[in-house]
């Protein structure tokens, strides 16, 4: 009734003020809270730092019974529970770190109606014992945090999340709210389907993080570039550096330390106590840089991370957004910086090819990778492109706070260069990688060139207008434009595609980002 609804709104506001100590709602919070408090299901997409927790904590307090929160990380649960207890909310967490007696005590509290919020790890929730206990308890709602973990094609798939579809079946009358900070259209659909939310509304907030400045640079000597970036803008600041491999993590941490930067490694291969110590130092001290694999970060709630740097390409735009999103949660100016090169594309493609996934999985993964490569190669505003990927139209086509907006790259007609490169790939049999093609174009008589007689080809030495670095950029852009493709059978080999022909015939123009810092075109083009 009208009266009950007014009453609920008043209670929501008063709980917000008095329990959470906040003056008002932000963005979609109010609409979400009202919807869930009235018993509705929904999917919530909100960027990191947007205030997702309140969307389930508050309705749990407004409704009868205990709110059950499914959360993948023990550390995250611990922080949330501590915060809630401090605010006077009766909260607890059930996870593998508890003794039997502790778990038993929490279960008794739940059944006695003495809990407002209970955090449960998914694998625990799905045990017959826990489900049976929940069936006997009064439940206010189910909140599924980090709901993208249910997506098999996402970047953070957790098998234990798949079983959560049981919640909708076993507790059809309890509202479900699924929350995530990252979901493209495909992931969104997967979450809805798996968690039984296909008929539920989806509340989508703006994913823009205006205080983050995006920059993606051409990878030359990544460690040196990273050192220069930190020395330039971030000495003494907290930051996260992401690398793909454990060996590289240790290597880069070492390099940074030698440059006087307080850097610590973090990866799954380190002993647990060292990992915990490094993470604690990062969280509690100022100016610590953590060099990590993607094992690091989810659930880390450090507001003053001033930069996130990627030395290797993430898997997808979602992963990139999520990882860079750990910068600047306090709203202050922060940097998302990435060094990217052709080898990144080749490496990620190989990882997909060699994965044990189905063909469909590989196809989707390749598509997601291609979208990210497109973002890297884009000469337009990075933010507009990033938000566009999540279905959001930017208000301004130029954000003014990304590398491309701040110093617009010059775009040149690269059709002739593209034709030279593609002919070179064609004439050498589409069996060679970037280095060999460049050697041929630059007229270098390497052992391999000689061995295959490629110095006899018409394309030998025709590429003197560019230097090696510029040719690499041309190749990368041709790959990202789809005119050239890494051969999935022969590692590193580049072959022509359907669209190469139009370029070779002169029917398609190829616009390329001009590479700065190389030798100016035309100088020293004679080979000697």
- Residues forming contacts to Zn ion in the complex (CB under 5 A) are 381, 383, 399, 402, 405
- For residue 484 the two structure tokens come to 């050239």
Residue bearing tokens 């080898």: 343
Considering the complex, state which of residue 29 and residue 293 has its C-beta at the smaller distance from ligand ADP: 29
The listed partner (ligand ADP, Zn ion, none) that binds 477, CB under 5 to 8 Å by sort, is none
Considering the complex, state which of residue 191 and residue 402 has its C-beta at the smaller distance from Zn ion: 402
| 54 is a contact residue toward ligand ADP (CB under 6 A) | yes
Smallest gap, in angstroms, from Cβ of residue 53 to ligand ADP?
A: 3
Smallest gap, in angstroms, from Cβ of residue 328 to ligand ADP?
A: 12
Considering the complex, state which of residue 48 and residue 470 has its C-beta at the smaller distance from ligand ADP: 48
Minimal CB distance residue for ligand ADP = 51
Q: Beta strand 66-70 with 117-120: parallel, antiparallel or unpaired?
A: parallel
The listed partner (Zn ion, ligand ADP, none) that binds 46, CB under 5 to 8 Å by sort, is ligand ADP
Smallest gap, in angstroms, from Cβ of residue 83 to ligand ADP?
A: 8
Point out which residues pair with 476 in neighbouring strands. none
The listed partner (ligand ADP, Zn ion, none) that binds 383, CB under 5 to 8 Å by sort, is Zn ion
Smallest gap, in angstroms, from Cβ of residue 106 to ligand ADP?
A: 23
**Dist CA 11 CA 381 (whole Å):** 44
Please return the burial class of 208, using the count of CB atoms within 10 Å of its CB with bins 0-12, 13-18 and 19+.
middle
The listed partner (ligand ADP, Zn ion, none) that binds 54, CB under 5 to 8 Å by sort, is ligand ADP
Considering the complex, state which of residue 399 and residue 510 has its C-beta at the smaller distance from Zn ion: 399
**Dist CA 68 CA 131 (whole Å):** 12
Considering the complex, state which of residue 29 and residue 348 has its C-beta at the smaller distance from ligand ADP: 29
Considering the complex, state which of residue 201 and residue 388 has its C-beta at the smaller distance from Zn ion: 388
Among 315, 308, 303, which Cα is nearest to 337's?
308
Among 107, 131, 125, 133, which Cα is nearest to 161's?
125
Smallest gap, in angstroms, from Cβ of residue 58 to ligand ADP?
A: 10
How is residue 520 annotated by DSSP?
P
Decide if 421 contacts 473 (C-beta within 8 A).
no
Smallest gap, in angstroms, from Cβ of residue 162 to ligand ADP?
A: 23
Instruction: Tell me if residue 246 falls in helix, strand or coil.
Output: helix
Smallest gap, in angstroms, from Cβ of residue 400 to Zn ion?
A: 6
Stretch that binds ligand ADP, among 51-59, 183-191, 258-266, 395-403 (CB under 6 A): 51-59
Smallest gap, in angstroms, from Cβ of residue 77 to ligand ADP?
A: 13
Residue bearing tokens 């617009």: 408
Q: Which residues are CB-neighbours of 213 under 8 A, at least 6 positions away?
A: 333, 334, 335, 336, 401, 402, 403
Decide if 474 contacts 513 (C-beta within 8 A).
no
What backbone phi and psi angles, to 5 degrees, belong to 257?
-60, -45
**Dist CA 25 CA 12 (whole Å):** 10
| 52 is a contact residue toward ligand ADP (CB under 6 A) | yes
Instruction: Tell me if residue 162 falls in helix, strand or coil.
Output: helix
Considering the complex, state which of residue 54 and residue 442 has its C-beta at the smaller distance from ligand ADP: 54
- For residue 445 the two structure tokens come to 């008589």
Considering the complex, state which of residue 386 and residue 478 has its C-beta at the smaller distance from Zn ion: 386
Q: How many CB atoms lie within 10 A of CB 173?
A: 6
Among 145, 142, 118, which Cα is nearest to 52's?
145
Upper half-sphere CA count for residue 191 (Cβ side, 13 Å)? 30
Considering the complex, state which of residue 57 and residue 348 has its C-beta at the smaller distance from ligand ADP: 57
The listed partner (ligand ADP, Zn ion, none) that binds 75, CB under 5 to 8 Å by sort, is none
Measured in whole angstroms, the distance separating CA 252 from the mean position of its chain's CA atoms is 21
- For residue 112 the two structure tokens come to 């006695």
The listed partner (Zn ion, ligand ADP, none) that binds 103, CB under 5 to 8 Å by sort, is none
Smallest gap, in angstroms, from Cβ of residue 387 to Zn ion?
A: 10
Q: Contacting ligand ADP (CB under 6 A), which of 15, 53, 316, 428?
A: 53
CA distances from 53 to 153, 415, 486 (A): 25, 52, 43
| 340 is a contact residue toward ligand ADP (CB under 6 A) | no
Rg (CA), the chain: 26
Smallest gap, in angstroms, from Cβ of residue 179 to ligand ADP?
A: 7
The listed partner (Zn ion, ligand ADP, none) that binds 51, CB under 5 to 8 Å by sort, is ligand ADP
Residue bearing tokens 């306090």: 330
| 332 is a contact residue toward ligand ADP (CB under 6 A) | no
Considering the complex, state which of residue 130 and residue 386 has its C-beta at the smaller distance from ligand ADP: 386
Point out which residues pair with 214 in neighbouring strands. 336, 402
The listed partner (Zn ion, ligand ADP, none) that binds 381, CB under 5 to 8 Å by sort, is Zn ion
The listed partner (Zn ion, ligand ADP, none) that binds 29, CB under 5 to 8 Å by sort, is ligand ADP
Which x/- pattern over 11-50 shows residues binding ligand ADP (rule: CB under 6 A)?
A: -----------x--xx--x----------------x-xxx
Residues that bind ligand ADP (CB under 6 A): 22, 25-26, 29, 46, 48-54
């Amino acid at each position: 009734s009208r009266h009950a609804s007014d009453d609920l709104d008043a209670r929501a506001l008063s709980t917000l003020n008095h329990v959470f100590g906040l003056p008002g709602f932000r963005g979609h919070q109010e609409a979400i809270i009202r919807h869930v408090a009235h018993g509705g299901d929904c999917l919530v997409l909100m960027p990191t730092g947007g205030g997702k927790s309140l969307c389930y904590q508050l309705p749990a307090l407004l409704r009868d019974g205990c709110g059950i929160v499914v959360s993948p990380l023990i550390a995250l649960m611990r922080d949330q529970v501590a915060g809630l207890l401090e605010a006077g909310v009766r909260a607890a967490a059930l996870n593998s770190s508890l003794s039997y007696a502790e778990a038993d005590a929490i279960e008794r509290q739940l059944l006695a109606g003495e809990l407002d919020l209970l955090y449960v790890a998914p694998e625990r929730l799905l045990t017959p014992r826990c489900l049976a206990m929940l069936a006997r308890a009064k439940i206010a709602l189910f909140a599924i945090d980090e709901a993208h973990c249910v997506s098999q094609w996402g970047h953070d798939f957790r098998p234990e999340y798949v079983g959560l579809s049981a919640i909708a079946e076993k507790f059809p009358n309890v509202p479900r709210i699924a929350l995530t900070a990252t979901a493209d259209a495909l992931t969104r659909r997967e979450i809805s389907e798996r968690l039984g939310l296909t008929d539920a509304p989806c509340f989508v907030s703006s994913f823009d993080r205006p205080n983050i400045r995006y920059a993606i640079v051409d990878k030359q000597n990544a460690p040196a570039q990273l050192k220069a970036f930190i020395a330039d803008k971030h000495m003494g600041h907290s930051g996260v550096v992401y690398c793909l491999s454990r060996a590289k993590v240790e290597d880069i941490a070492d390099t940074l330390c030698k440059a006087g930067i307080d850097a610590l490694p973090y990866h799954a291969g380190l002993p647990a106590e060292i990992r915990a110590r490094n993470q604690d130092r990062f969280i509690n001290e100022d100016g610590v840089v953590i060099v990590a694999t993607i094992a690091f970060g989810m659930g880390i709630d450090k507001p003053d991370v001033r930069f996130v740097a990627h030395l290797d390409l993430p898997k997808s735009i979602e992963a990139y957004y999520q990882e860079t999103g750990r910068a600047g949660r306090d709203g202050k100016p922060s940097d998302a910086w990435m060094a990217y090169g052709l080898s990144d594309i080749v490496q990620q493609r190989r990882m997909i090819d060699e994965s044990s996934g189905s063909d469909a999985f590989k196809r989707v993964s390749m598509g997601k990778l291609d979208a990210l490569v497109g973002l890297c190669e884009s000469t337009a505003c990075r933010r507009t492109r990033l938000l566009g990927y999540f279905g959001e139209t930017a208000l301004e086509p130029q954000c003014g706070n990304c590398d491309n907006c701040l110093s617009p790259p010059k775009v040149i007609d690269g059709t002739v260069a593209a034709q030279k490169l593609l002919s070179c790939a064609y004439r050498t049999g589409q069996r060679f990688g970037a280095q060999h093609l460049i050697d041929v174009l630059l007229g270098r008589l390497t052992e391999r060139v000689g061995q295959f007689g490629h110095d006899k080809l018409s394309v030998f030495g025709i590429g003197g207008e560019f230097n090696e670095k510029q040719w690499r950029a041309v190749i990368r852009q041709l790959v990202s434009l789809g005119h050239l493709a890494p051969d999935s059978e022969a590692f590193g080999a580049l072959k022509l595609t359907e669209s190469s022909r139009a370029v070779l015939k002169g029917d398609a123009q190829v616009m390329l980002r001009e590479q700065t810092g190389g030798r100016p075109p035309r100088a020293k083009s004679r080979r000697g």
